Structure 1
């Protein structure tokens, strides 16, 4: 099975040699996606704008464009490689990538010495490419993920603490599942899903965990509150849930999920996040939330931790 990414690179004519150097790297030394640091052939970029190529009814192109369909390429490594090359005209370099799991191109351009993801606009750009294991990427939790969230909770998944036991078959009780996942998504709900793509899965993305927050209808001071205009939840309290399947605990996926989720909560105007830690939770859950999220014990809530975001 293959894992294909469509890639286009637009450069000024003076940077043609570097575009060709990038293609040679893809043909020989590029990191392979999900292959634990192995390198090799993932494809090539071929020029689409040769001397005899005309665009737009007989007009010659004003840039050089290279394109290719890459196979098993580590896309984060590709972005890093483009950033490292000594382009003569970096302001005109555009890298466009359509991953197999997506239906649109993402576009990077240089801002100073760094490549910056420009499109798609909005919060999605915070979550891809990921900063965790090479086989894992994140996407937004959609309305169609309601069943997935319930399944993860029912299976008893937990954050990837180092001392989380491999078997936590008790799972969440029906009340916890209903409170956290029923009716997903309600207004103000926000979540991320982690997917792993490996040779074992036939290079198909498999959900391995999720993190989300859901508003409790209280203000951050603990009083009931109805939010702002148009359902806005500024200053409200939201409950955090982080779940992972047992086989992927201890790999840093939980922290990979939690970081952008906290940024999204701040951007949404959440005043406080709470996390319920029942007595049946793995021993390391509290320490994990303190270490990775800055959560603290709440004196007025049995088994709860809180994080003030305002």
Structure 2
């Protein structure tokens, strides 16, 4: 399924960690490369993914890297359906989505199907227009595996 997404990784002193991700590597679960946003500065890298399946496993891969300063790692993700970038940070060794004020992630597709990449949901701003939210369990929608 085609759904373009931009991913920005911000991390201090991470040139060596990110360098292998600037080259294509067929052994990774995700397919793509990152580009330095300001060559030589060593703080930000960006990538664009054109299919949901091509980004599967990206967050798991990023959280496994030996970051020199994990507390500075921020991953910004903007799926083409999102109203704004979502923010992911390392907490207890895992990249987790940080809730942003006046936003909510909703899931509109049905149950996960192995024939398709997992649905990343859509990050909506709650202060811009009324949204008909899908029915969710009390703890939020946990029926779908992580798309990233």
Shorter chain as denominator, the TM-score bin is 0.5 to 0.7
Q: Residue 29 of structure 1 corresponds to which residue in structure 2?
A: 27
Deviation of 1:27 after TM superposition, in Å, equals 4.4
Q: Residue 9 of structure 1 corresponds to which residue in structure 2?
A: 9
Q: Which has the higher helix share?
A: 1
Question: Which whole-Å CA distance do the structure 2 matches of 1:82 and 1:64 have between them?
Answer: 15
Query: Which of 34, 39, 44 is 1:65 aligned to?
Result: 44
Question: Which whole-Å CA distance do the structure 2 matches of 1:91 and 1:111 have between them?
Answer: 8
Give me the CA root mean square deviation: 3.5
- 8 Å CA contact 2:35, 2:45 repeated in 1: yes
Q: Paired residues, what number?
A: 130
Deviation of 1:91 after TM superposition, in Å, equals 0.6
Q: TM-score, normalised by structure 2?
A: 0.66
Question: Which whole-Å CA distance do the structure 1 matches of 2:37 and 2:103 have between them?
Answer: 32
CA gap 1:139/1:43 in 2 versus in 1, 3 angstroms: closer
Q: Residue 139 of structure 2 corresponds to which residue in structure 1?
A: 263
Larger radius of gyration between Structure 1 and Structure 2: 1
Question: Which whole-Å CA distance do the structure 1 matches of 2:5 and 2:60 have between them?
Answer: 16
Question: Which whole-Å CA distance do the structure 1 matches of 2:52 and 2:81 have between them?
Answer: 13
Name structure 2 gaps, 5 residues minimum: 124-128, 144-148
- 8 Å CA contact 1:117, 1:125 repeated in 2: no
Question: Which whole-Å CA distance do the structure 1 matches of 2:98 and 2:58 have between them?
Answer: 16
Cα distance per residue 1:209-250 (max 9 Å; x no partner): xxx2xxxxxxxxxxxxxxxxxxxxxxxxxxxxxxxxxxxxxx
Any residues of structure 2 matched to 1:78-227 within 5 Å, and which? Answer: 78-121=58-101, 124-125=104-105, 132-133=112-113, 134-137=116-119, 138-139=121-122, 191-192=133-134, 212=135
CA gap 1:104/1:143 in 2 versus in 1, 3 angstroms: closer
Cα distance per residue 1:36-95 (max 9 Å; x no partner): xxxxxx3311101223xxxxxxxxx6x511112122254451111111112121111111
Question: Which whole-Å CA distance do the structure 2 matches of 1:6 and 1:95 have between them?
Answer: 10
Cα distance per residue 1:175-233 (max 9 Å; x no partner): xxxxxxxxxx6xxxxx42xxxxxxxxxxxxxxxxxxx2xxxxxxxxxxxxxxxxxxxxx
Question: Which whole-Å CA distance do the structure 1 matches of 2:58 and 2:73 have between them?
Answer: 14
Q: TM-score, normalised by structure 1?
A: 0.35
Deviation of 1:121 after TM superposition, in Å, equals 4.0
